[in-house]
Amino acid sequence: MKKILLIEDDIAFCKMVSNFLSKNNYNVSTAYSANEARTLVKDTDFDLIMCDIRLPDSDGIELMAEFKLINPTIPIVLMTGYADVTTAVKAMKRGASDYISKPFVPEEVLLVLSNALNKPAEKKTGAPATHTTKSVQKERDFVSGISAVSKTLLTHIQLVSPTNLSVLINGESGTGKEVVAKEVHKLSNRNKAPFIAVDCGAIPKELATSEFFGHLKGSFTGAVTDKIGHFESANGGTLFLDEVGNLSYENQIQLLRALQERKVKKIGSSTEVEVDIRVIAATNEDLKEGVKNGTFREDLYHRLNEFSIEVPTLEERKQDLLMYADFFLDKANEQLNKNVLGFSPDVIRIFQAYSWPGNLRELQNIIRRSALLTQGNLIEKDVLPADLFEEQSKSMGGLSKSENEKEMIIKALKLCNGNKSEAAKMLEINRKTLYNKLKLYQLEED
């Protein structure tokens, strides 16, 4: 039975957590102050320490540093409220194994502890570790978040993942629909098999049959070799259909038939191949509206929508903003071989005031660019793009979301001299979605 030291000055909360951990087969000792914890650490060899970041007689991070000097390999998990999340993330660069945000999600607590305890011990060097990867968040490339909408999202992912239900993921462009799909796959029983992602908006309708089902050499002009389609490539695993609403009506019929029969036939072949796949589809369009106006088949919609997941916008999960910012900064540091530690208070205020119309993708791109330009330890406002300041100058709230989107489209078209393909790239949406937006906002040329 693993021995855990729990350091928390809130006696009622401490007892509640201690009881929970004891019921889950942990041997828990408790300390209500730093001095009490120091005494226990001298007398007992603990397998893990859980420490509140704010204690009445010490700072949790400083106390962690003390314990790391005594035992550099002991995993330490910090407990923190939302206001201290940024501090906790920085503490991980100084040796913390992970952090847990209050209020706790029981399953998250157990997962964090399991990961921290099972993580390979670092070599003893006589000094505390300078950087430790976030065990749960970074390895899984999925930030669960602490906001109510993020917790609902995580609950839905955990509920549907072990099943074989088809999943339809709805969300605006840039909200991370593919990351959600990958998380469903990772938590499913198919996680040892392939995850095949297909951008339906990038497939010309004439080639969709070949892309999905494959073809034999010589079956049509240009078929110079045999090709395995996406259905066969995903056999045993998950097929992710991104922006499924962009499929032509004819391609929808072919897709529906394959999903119903679970058999595919390559172009030029007379042999059917059985496939065992789970389908996850994603869209930033209203497929119900597509069913109503006849652009999307109702039977295919119900086949794909056995369970739906709504991915919130970044504006809706503002409480998670700093967690995502730190997560993307860690990724940027790794990709760019940088060591930027965090964000200045001015940058944090600007981030929190901005509406993030491009959602997580926009946040990630801005942080990567800013990290590249940063020469010091912190990202300062002088390296941020002008877009973030332009919105502030509008005194926040002058435009509705739709008005803001319409203005962005007009601006992009003007910058691209009316070239819709280039404007779509600038807006980070596909061409068909741009045409739908043009129709929605009555921006089409007469």
User: What tokens does 261 get?
Assistant: 């029969």
Asked whether residue 140 is domain-assigned, the answer is no
pLDDT at 162 over 50: yes
Query: Which positions ≥6 away from 334 have C-beta within 8 Å?
Result: none
- Length of the chain counted residue by residue: 446
Q: 98-112, 149-163, 333-347, 369-383: which range is least confident on average?
A: 98-112
pLDDT of residue 107: 76
Asked whether residue 141 is domain-assigned, the answer is no
Quickly count: other Cβ atoms within 10 Å of residue 217's Cβ. 10
pLDDT at 137 over 80: no
Report the C-alpha gap between 65 and 407 in whole angstroms: 51
Q: How far is CA 144 from CA 9, 224, 391, 398, in A?
A: 27, 46, 28, 32
Report the C-alpha gap between 52 and 100 in whole angstroms: 10
Domain count across the chain: 4
Pairing of the two strands 58-59 and 54-55: antiparallel
Q: Note the pLDDT tens digit of each residue in 293-311.
A: 999 999 999 999 999 999 9
Q: Note the pLDDT tens digit of each residue in 196-255.
A: 999 998 888 888 888 999 888 888 877 778 888 899 999 999 999 999 999 999 999 999
Q: State which of 310, 344, 361 marks the end of a domain.
A: 310
131 pLDDT band (50/70/90 cuts)? Answer: very low
153 and 283 in a single domain? The answer is yes
Asked whether residue 446 is domain-assigned, the answer is no
Report the C-alpha gap between 83 and 146 in whole angstroms: 11
pLDDT at 289 over 70: yes
402 pLDDT band (50/70/90 cuts)? Answer: low
Between residues 316 and 107, the one the model is more confident about: 316
Q: If you average pLDDT over residues 28-38, what whole number do you get? A: 91
Look up the CATH number of the domain holding residue 57: 3.40.50.2300
Look up the CATH number of the domain holding residue 410: 1.10.10
Q: Note the pLDDT tens digit of each residue in 74-108.
A: 999 988 765 455 666 667 767 888 888 776 777 77
122 pLDDT band (50/70/90 cuts)? Answer: very low
Asked whether residue 11 is domain-assigned, the answer is yes
pLDDT of residue 221: 78
353 and 290 in a single domain? The answer is no
Q: If you average pLDDT over residues 56-75, what whole number do you get? A: 86
Q: Note the pLDDT tens digit of each residue in 1-24.
A: 899 999 998 887 888 888 889 988
136 pLDDT band (50/70/90 cuts)? Answer: very low
395 pLDDT band (50/70/90 cuts)? Answer: very low
Nearest one of 39, 57, 120, 48 to 78, comparing CA atoms: 48
159 and 248 in a single domain? The answer is yes
414 and 387 in a single domain? The answer is no
pLDDT at 65 over 50: yes
Q: If you average pLDDT over residues 342-351, what whole number do you get? A: 86
| Residue 123, domain extent | 3-133
Look up the CATH number of the domain holding residue 219: 3.40.50.300
Asked whether residue 201 is domain-assigned, the answer is yes
Look up the CATH number of the domain holding residue 341: 1.10.8.60
Asked whether residue 420 is domain-assigned, the answer is yes
Q: If you average pLDDT over residues 365-380, what whole number do you get? A: 93
Asked whether residue 15 is domain-assigned, the answer is yes
29 pLDDT band (50/70/90 cuts)? Answer: very high
174: left (phi over 0), alpha (psi -120 to 50) or beta: left
Q: State which of 133, 162, 179 marks the end of a domain.
A: 133
Q: If you average pLDDT over residues 48-64, what whole number do you get? A: 86
429 pLDDT band (50/70/90 cuts)? Answer: confident
173 and 98 in a single domain? The answer is no
Q: State which of 133, 167, 189 marks the end of a domain.
A: 133
Asked whether residue 86 is domain-assigned, the answer is yes
15 and 111 in a single domain? The answer is yes
253 and 184 in a single domain? The answer is yes
Between residues 358 and 121, the one the model is more confident about: 358
pLDDT of residue 398: 43
pLDDT of residue 391: 60
Q: Exposed, middle or buried: residue 377 (CB in 10 Å: 0-12, 13-18, 19+)? A: exposed
pLDDT of residue 85: 58
Q: 83-97, 272-286, 432-446: which range is least confident on average?
A: 83-97
pLDDT at 138 over 60: no
pTM over 0.75: no
pLDDT at 54 over 50: yes
322 and 374 in a single domain? The answer is yes
pLDDT at 366 over 50: yes
164 and 118 in a single domain? The answer is no
42 and 83 in a single domain? The answer is yes
Cβ atoms 2, 28 nearer than 8 A: no
68: left (phi over 0), alpha (psi -120 to 50) or beta: alpha
281 and 168 in a single domain? The answer is yes
pLDDT of residue 397: 43
344 and 269 in a single domain? The answer is no
